[in-house]
């Protein structure tokens, strides 16, 4: 009877971890990506009205970098206490900080009201957002991964699915607000409504998150051998995994920022209506939610490396198709460009990353290691829109943007293929002395049971044939 109750409790906590991770990252990325969309549509006119239109766009997109640069700091701070004290408390704190910062952005005075202090306060709030989201992602995906006893790629990918879900929610509310009023009213005050709505989302998210328990693997690690300095342990024991995780993610973030933030500004500047571009982005984000979960589930069967490499390789090719489709002036081709790029190819890459990052580091400092690698690579996403806006402005075309995207995608493929496959091992078995010394070319340890027997027989047959 006690065993049955324990199993039911474990399943309930897994469901709560999945729901909490999905809802939490949805809310966090709603706030974080709402800023990105607003920077492409509104902030150049509200906070940089003293500049020429081209320079205002570059400056507005440039403020994105402040949030992305702050993300590794959030990963280190929240990761440290998340590894030493509590995963749950750090997730509650990160969500609260993000909700408050986003609400305050909705209350900021404009450049016309207080001059240069307006963009200064905007950048400060963006830094706070970056610290919060830097602490959110690692904890959210780890809670699901550490509660899962099987199909870790699928359950962890719900945390990643929160990113496109947040994009859907943010663009939908921006679309609703901009469509319900004149352009002048939206620029004047309507853009504030989506940011103020963050306060409502914060309450909803906290209600779910406060019901969650700590993962058993984490509580056991804290009791038996807690890490005194998780950051130092990551740098000392797993520098290779940290470097490869950064390289694996940088191509993703640059591509993601290009397909969402930069494409909005580019398409609007090339004759598309703002509403048309937002509709295309919303459609692609809906597809991305589903595709992210499918890719996460497929990575349990075919391996993390195969899915990530397939998504990154396909996106390297698509980067040269993306801008000609937009330049055609066709709404249908615009939708095709972003749905295939962001909705399918980018999601194939993104879905497995949640479990993969969690599998790269031991439980005692997993929050810090996974967060640091993921968030350092995110800096590329913050720099890309502003850099690409400058590149297009001075070169007269987007070809160089496509080349940069493709090169970074290829670098990410090299990094992920340098890692060993981790999808078939439990988190407890991943970082024993034997598995930690295994290289990317070593055969995977066989799992127990019939699947392991079949794998062992296949390996034996190959060796006999050789």
Q: What is the pLDDT of residues 30-82, one digit of tens each?
A: 888 788 778 877 888 888 877 777 777 778 777 878 888 899 999 999 999 99
Residue 358: pLDDT above 80? Answer: yes
- Extract the tokens encoding 314: 């396909």
Rounded mean pLDDT of 326-351? 95
Lowest-pLDDT range of 115-124, 174-183, 236-245: 174-183
Residue 406: pLDDT above 90? Answer: yes
CA 225 to chain centre: 30
Residue 460: pLDDT above 50? Answer: no
Residue 26: closest CA among 207, 159, 193: 159
Rounded mean pLDDT of 10-18? 82
Averaging pLDDT over each range in 152-161, 164-173, 380-389, 420-429, which range is the top one? Answer: 152-161
Q: Please say whether the beta carbons of 368 and 231 come within 8 A.
A: yes
Residue 423: pLDDT above 90? Answer: no
pLDDT band, very low/low/confident/very high, at 286 (cuts 50, 70, 90): very high
Rounded mean pLDDT of 161-182? 86
Q: 260-269: per-residue pLDDT in tens?
A: 888 888 998 8
- Long-range (24+ apart) CB contacts under 8 A made by 300-306 are 300/151, 300/152, 300/153, 300/154, 300/423, 303/421, 303/423, 303/424, 304/153, 304/352, 304/353, 304/355, 304/356, 304/359, 304/416, 304/421, 304/422, 304/423, 305/416, 305/417, 305/419, 305/421
pLDDT of residue 461: 43
Rounded mean pLDDT of 348-368? 92
Q: Which comes out higher in pLDDT, residue 246 or 389?
A: 246
Q: Which comes out higher in pLDDT, residue 85 or 57?
A: 85
Percent of the chain beyond pLDDT 70? 90
Q: 185-229: per-residue pLDDT in tens?
A: 888 888 899 999 999 988 988 888 888 888 877 887 777 777 889
pLDDT band, very low/low/confident/very high, at 1 (cuts 50, 70, 90): very low
> How crowded is the C-beta side of 164, counted as CA atoms within 13 Å?
30
Q: What is the mean pLDDT of the chain?
A: 85
Rounded mean pLDDT of 449-455? 43
pLDDT band, very low/low/confident/very high, at 2 (cuts 50, 70, 90): low
Q: What is the CATH number of domain 10-209+228-442?
A: 1.20.1250.20
Domain residue ranges of the chain, discontinuous segments joined by +: 10-209+228-442
> How crowded is the C-beta side of 431, counted as CA atoms within 13 Å?
15
Task: Tell me the backbone φ, ψ of residue 449, rounded to 5 degrees.
Answer: 95, -170
Rounded mean pLDDT of 353-362? 92
pTM above 0.75, yes or no: yes
Q: Which comes out higher in pLDDT, residue 177 or 335?
A: 335
pLDDT of residue 432: 59
Percent of the chain beyond pLDDT 90? 43
pLDDT band, very low/low/confident/very high, at 289 (cuts 50, 70, 90): very high
pLDDT band, very low/low/confident/very high, at 5 (cuts 50, 70, 90): low
**Torsional class of 445: left (φ above 0), alpha (ψ -120 to 50), beta (otherwise):** beta
Residue 466: pLDDT above 50? Answer: no
Q: 298-325: per-residue pLDDT in tens?
A: 999 999 999 999 999 999 999 999 999 9
């Amino acid at each position: 009877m006690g065993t049955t109750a324990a199993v039911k409790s474990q399943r309930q906590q897994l469901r709560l971890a999945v729901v909490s991770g999905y809802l939490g990252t949805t809310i966090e990325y709603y706030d974080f990506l709402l800023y990105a969309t607003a920077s492409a549509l509104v902030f150049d006119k509200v906070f940089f009205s003293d500049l020429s239109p081209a320079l205002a766009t570059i400056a507005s997109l440039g403020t994105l970098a402040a949030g992305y640069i702050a993300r590794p700091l959030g990963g280190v701070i929240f990761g440290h206490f998340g590894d030493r004290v509590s995963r749950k408390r750090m997730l509650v704190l990160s969500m609260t900080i993000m909700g408050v910062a986003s609400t305050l952005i909705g209350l900021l005075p404009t450049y016309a009201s207080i001059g240069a202090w307006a963009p200064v306060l905007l950048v400060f709030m963006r830094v706070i957002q970056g610290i919060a989201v830097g602490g959110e992602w690692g904890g959210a995906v780890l809670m699901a991964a550490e509660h899962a006893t099987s199909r870790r790629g699928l359950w962890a990918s719900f945390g990643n699915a929160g990113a496109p879900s947040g994009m859907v929610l943010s663009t939908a509310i921006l679309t609703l607000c901009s469509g319900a009023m004149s352009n002048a009213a939206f620029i004047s005050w309507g853009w504030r409504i989506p940011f103020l709505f963050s306060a409502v989302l914060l309450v909803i998210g906290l209600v779910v998150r406060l019901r969650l328990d700590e993962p058993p693997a984490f509580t056991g690690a804290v009791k038996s051998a807690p890490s005194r300095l998780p950051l130092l342990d990551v740098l000392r024991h797993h520098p290779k995994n940290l470097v490869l995780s950064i390289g694996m993610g940088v191509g993703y973030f640059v591509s993601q920022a290009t397909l969402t933030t930069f494409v909005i500004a580019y398409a609007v500047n090339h004759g598309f209506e703002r509403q048309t571009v937002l509709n295309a982005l919303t459609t692609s984000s809906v597809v991305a939610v589903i595709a992210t979960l499918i890719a996460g589930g497929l990575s349990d069967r075919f391996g993390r490396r195969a899915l990530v490499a397939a998504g990154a390789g396909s996106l390297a090719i698509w980067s040269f198709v993306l801008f000609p489709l937009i330049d055609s002036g066709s709404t249908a081709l615009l939708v095709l460009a972003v749905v295939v790029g962001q909705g399918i190819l980018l999601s194939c890459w993104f879905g497995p990353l949640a479990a993969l990052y969690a599998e790269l580091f031991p439980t005692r400092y997993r929050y810090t290691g996974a967060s640091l690698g993921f968030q350092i690579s995110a800096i590329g996403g913050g720099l890309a829109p502003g850099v690409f806006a400058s590149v297009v402005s001075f070169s007269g075309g987007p070809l160089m943007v496509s080349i940069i995207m493709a090169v970074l995608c290829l670098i990410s493929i090299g990094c992920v293929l340098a890692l060993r496959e981790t999808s078939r091992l439990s988190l407890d078995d991943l970082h024993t002395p034997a598995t930690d010394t295994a290289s990317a070319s070593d055969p995977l340890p066989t799992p127990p049971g019939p699947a392991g027997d079949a794998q062992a027989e296949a390996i034996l047959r190959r060796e006999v044939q050789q």
